[in-house]
Amino acid sequence: MSSTDIHLHQHTAHGHAHDEHHELPWIRKYVFSEDHKIIAKQYLFTGIFWALIGGAFSLIFRLQLGFPGANLSWLKPVLHGWIDNGGKLDPDFYLALVTMHGTIMVFFVLTAGLSGTFSNFLIPLQVGARDMASGFLNMLSYWFFFISSVIMLWSLFISTGPAAGGWTVYPPLSALPQALLGSGAGMTMWLVSMALFIVALLLGGINYITTVINLRTYGMTFTRLPLTIWAFFLTAIIGLLSFPVLFSASLLLIFDRSFGTSFFLSDIWIDGAPLAHEGGSPVLFQHLFWFLGHPEVYIVLIPALGITSEIIATNSRKPIFGYKAMIVSMLAITFLSFIVWAHHMFVTGMNPFLGSIFMILTLIIAVPSAVKAFNYITTMWRGNLIFTPAMMFSIGLVSFFISGGLTGIVLGNSAADIQLHDTYFVVAHFHLVMGSASFFGMLAGVYHWFPKMFGRMMDEKLGYVHFWCTFVGIYFVFFPLHYIGLAGFPRRYYQFTNFDAFQTFGDLNMFVSIAAIFTFAAQMLFLFNFFWSIFKGRVAPANPWRSNTLEWTTPLHPEHGNWPGEIPHVYRWPYDYSKPGAAEDFIPQHIPYSQTPSSNLPGEKDPD
């Protein structure tokens, strides 16, 4: 502890000197900024931008699925040649939309947009640090993400269209331009973009980890870290261990595509000619992809769970139930997330013995997940619940986490998965547990930390309307997809009219599409509220939610360096809400025990 201590003081002194001497030029302050708070906002704005594009794409393909054969010529001004003269959407472009939708949502919105925003914003503020361990690397991280975004965006406009082989980009389809229109230049851009994205993510992740380990303020032990920080910390570790595997897979795929190697290709005859590739295995790619891909769903989910823990505790005015159990479950999930990947591959032809092993490991992960859900609910028991918009979205998250997580248990069962794999049942499952839950975590985080980000409050009433429209809308969209999946409908189908078996459910598909349009439209309420409040919102009080964590001890508009004076010290865990004997229903972390004699439990005293 003492060595950290010295380091911290040095850092503080340095921070002061730095701040006093020179005012930074505008471009260094707001564009190429090294301030974690600015970088967080850059991630947030970019994430919102991508969410709109990804969401809009889902609407276009939902139109195709809900109203097959409808005349879509009115989209011609936007989509040009991808709508034919009869007003029909091009099947290649349908696949491109699905692929880009998945890629954008998973990587750009819920990885960069969520972790990038909240890890950046909250880690220094909540552990009591002036900034990230390396502001420069942090800046670099955002700009790598930015370039990656530009490339992906650009790929939407090239004549052969963007990558279209699904967000999982399985070769040989993604490797052979002659197999799919999107596997030409679009796929090359996808791979380059993802490689840069991974660099961005690793630079960010290294920073998050270093900051949490080294820059905690005096007294901020690991067992006093808010669960948000635990979540971001573990997420960064998962990312650090799993993303390089996707990097290698992408690299090998680039080799197969451009340099004639055969890592993933073998025995292929296409376009009137056999290919020279021999000895590769497409299944190998799937192993590599899912070695990242499954941890990735937790990279997306765990930060949202961390945010929810914080918000539910604060707004229940109660300590989070089972703080240690929450940490242990997150640790367990982190570990297990690395050894379940092949549950995505039960019917790929891999050895069935592997199938049974991965079924067992997958079902184990249900246990820590269940513990987390129980703990959220118990936190609300006998609480004093304040339904702020952030709290509402957190409750929504718990609901999605349960309804979507449960169906994972049946999908993890390899025998049942034979039928369910690659049907809409899977689409329903992962949209609830990963898509919607994480999306709600992100929205909850924005509503909760908006006052700290912009010094103003968002409008509550509008927040409620936004919540109810979105919550109901999402269940309307994704719950019916379970039934469609049980009826056997395969995913990534341009239309279902070719099969007798998939003739039913035209009406339900239409309903889903209408609900999707409604849900998307409801997000405009959020956008309006967000941008309006940045400029016109009511000025926020210092600690609007009466929260215990350190970020609320900073000034309303914290400068680079966060605290004008010394960094506050920490004396207690972050969940002293409604402590018996205390005057208020919260005791922030920086209040020493010596100031709260009436509420101290046996053994609680300040260190000498």
Partner 1 sequence: MSQSLEIGIAVVLILAILVLIFRIQALVSVMRGSYRKRAGLSNKVNAILFVVFALVGFGTFFWFSFGTEYHLPVSSSEHGIHTDFMFWLTMAILVIAFVITHIFMISFIYKYQFDENRKAYFYPENHKLEFVWTIIPAIVMVVLVYYGYRTWNDIFKMAPADRMEIEVMGQQFNWLVRYPGADGKLGSHSYKKISPDNQFGLILEDQTGWDDFAPREIHIPKGKPVLLRIRARDVLHSVYLPHFRVKMDAVPGMPTTFWFTPIQTTAEKREELGNPNFNFELACAELCGRGHFSMRYILVVDEPENYKKWVAEQKAWAEVNREYVVKTIKPEYKDKLPEIKVATPDAPTVAPADTTTPKATALNIK
The footprint of ligand HEM on residues 34-73 (CB under 6 A) is 55, 58, 62
294, interface contact from ligand HEM, partner 1, Cu ion, none, CB < 5-8 Å by kind:
Cu ion
Residue 128, interface with ligand HEM (CB under 6 A)?
Answer: no
Which residue's CB is nearer to partner 1, number 414 or number 513?
414
CB 287 to Cu ion: min, Å = 13
> Minimum Å distance from CB 296 to Cu ion?
9
Smallest distance from Cu ion to CB 516, Å: 24
Q: Name the phi and psi angles at 319, rounded to 5.
A: -60, 150
Residue 449 vs 520, nearer CB to ligand HEM:
520
Contacts of 495 (CB under 8 A, 6+ apart): 64, 65, 68
Query: Which of the listed partners (partner 1, Cu ion, ligand HEM, none) does 427 bind, with a CB threshold of 5 to 8 Å by partner kind?
Result: ligand HEM
Q: Is 270 helix (H, G, I), strand (E, B) or coil?
A: strand
Q: How far is the CB of 76 from ligand HEM (least distance, A)?
A: 22
Compute the CA torsion angle 119, 121, 123, 129 (nearest 10 deg).
Answer: 150
φ/ψ of 568, rounded to 5, equals -60, 150
Determine if 162 is a binding residue for partner 1 (CB under 8 A): no
Site membership for partner 1, residue 10 (CB under 8 A): no
Q: Which residue, 360 or 556, has its beta carbon nearer to partner 1?
A: 360
Of 338, 495, 514, 569, the one binding partner 1 (CB under 8 A) is 495
Q: Are 481 and 428 in contact (CB under 8 A)?
A: yes
Stretch that binds ligand HEM, among 70-78, 134-142, 278-286, 488-496 (CB under 6 A): 488-496
CB of 28 to partner 1, least distance (A): 36
Residue type, 185: A
CB-nearer residue toward ligand HEM: 110 or 570: 110
> Least CB distance from residue 517 to ligand HEM, whole Å?
9
102 near ligand HEM, rule: CB under 6 A: yes
The binding site for Cu ion (CB under 5 A) comprises: 294
Which CB sits closer to ligand HEM, 422 or 460? 422
Residue closer to partner 1 by CB (options 204, 441) is: 441
Q: Are 466 and 522 in contact (CB under 8 A)?
A: yes
Task: Give, as ranges, the residues between 458 and 477 that touch ligand HEM (CB under 6 A).
Answer: 477
Minimum CB–partner distance for residue 294 and Cu ion (Å): 3
Q: 64 vs 120, which CB is nearer to partner 1?
A: 64
The residue range among 46-54, 187-195, 204-212, 274-282 that interacts with partner 1, by the rule CB under 8 A, is: 274-282
The answer to whether the CB of 110 falls within 8 A of the CB of 445 is no
Biggest distance spanned by C-alpha atoms of the chain: 84
Among 13, 213, 386, 542, binds partner 1 (CB under 8 A): 386
Q: To 5 degrees, how large is the angle CA 237–CA 590–CA 305?
A: 35
Which partner, ligand HEM, partner 1, Cu ion, none, binds residue 130 by CB below 5 to 8 Å per kind? none
The answer to the question of residue 162 lying near ligand HEM (CB under 6 A) is: no
Handedness of CA 326, 328, 332, 334 (dihedral sign): positive
Residue list 511-540, contact with ligand HEM (CB under 6 A): 516, 519-520
Beta bridge partners, 273, equal 270
CB contact at 8 A, 306 and 228 = yes
Pick from 113, 184, 186, 319: which binds partner 1 (CB under 8 A)?
319
Asked whether position 304 contacts ligand HEM by CB under 6 A, the answer is no
Q: Does 414 bind partner 1 (CB under 8 A)?
A: yes
Residues forming beta bridges with residue 89, ordered by sequence position: 83
Of 181 and 380, the one with the shorter C-beta distance to ligand HEM is: 181
Residue choice 68, 87, 91, 166 for contact with ligand HEM (CB under 6 A):
166
Q: How far apart are CA 460 and CA 447, in angstroms?
A: 9
Angle at 428 between CA 313 and CA 529, to 5 degrees: 50
Which run of H or E residues covers position 208?
helix 185-214
Q: Quick check: 367 binds partner 1 (CB under 8 A)? A: yes
Encode burial over 431-444: b for 16+ CB neighbours within 10 A, e otherwise: bbbbbbbbbbbbbb
Note whether 105 binds ligand HEM by CB under 6 A: yes
Closest Cα partner for 213 from 127, 131, 114, 333? 127
Cα separation, 247 vs 25, in Å, equals 36
DSSP string across 49-81: HHHHHHHHHHHHHHHHHHSTT---GGGHHHHGG
Q: Is 106 near ligand HEM (CB under 6 A)?
A: yes
* Environment class of 483 (CB within 10 Å of its CB; exposed 0-12, middle 13-18, buried 19+): middle
268 binds partner 1 (CB under 8 A): yes
Angle between helices 506-536 and 437-454 (to 10 degrees): 10
Tokens of 443: 């929205």
- Rounded to an integer, what distance in angstroms lies between the CA atom of residue 497 and that of residue 64? 12
Gap between the Cα atoms of 295 and 340, Å rounded: 9
Return the residue of 67, 170, 338, 518 that touches partner 1, per CB under 8 A.
170
By CB under 8 A, tell whether 281 contacts partner 1: yes
Nearest CB to ligand HEM, comparing residues 82 and 439: 439
What is the rounded distance in angstroms from the CA atom of residue 66 to the CA atom of residue 132?
47
Rule CB under 6 A: is residue 423 a binding residue for ligand HEM? no
Interface with ligand HEM (CB under 6 A): 55, 58, 62, 98-99, 101-102, 105-106, 110, 166-167, 427, 431, 434-435, 439, 477, 491-493, 516, 519-520
